[in-house]
Amino acid sequence: MNKFMLTRALKEPKGPIIKRILVRCPSTGKLTPTGDTVEEALWADMKIKKPKLRCPHCSQVHLWTKKDVVLAR
Ligand SMILES: [Zn+2]
């Protein structure tokens, strides 16, 4: 392997990109981790089974949709 190939190999992402699923609290505007993760490439087609979240910021249970979600590393 020459130097050029080694540099490329280090920059290539390894495997799927896993993101954490965060939901924005409608009351406080803060992001709350759902505890779930998703492969970024699968997110667009992913079906969410139980979009409920007990929110640590306002102590309420939020129903959320994919529109409320922020994906984070
Ligand atoms: Zn909340």
Ligand 1 mean position, distance from CA 57 (Å) = 5
Q: For position 47, what pLDDT does the model report?
A: 87
Q: What is the pLDDT of residues 31-62, one digit of tens each?
A: 999 999 999 999 999 988 878 999 999 999 99
Distance in angstroms (rounded) separating the CA atoms of residues 46 and 60? 25
Ligand 1 mean position, distance from CA 47 (Å) = 22
pTM confidence score: 0.73
pLDDT of 3 over the 70 cut:
no
Determine contact, residues 64/31, Cβ cutoff 8 Å. no
Ligand 1 mean position, distance from CA 72 (Å) = 18
Ligand 1 mean position, distance from CA 4 (Å) = 49
Question: What value does the mean pLDDT of the chain take?
Answer: 87
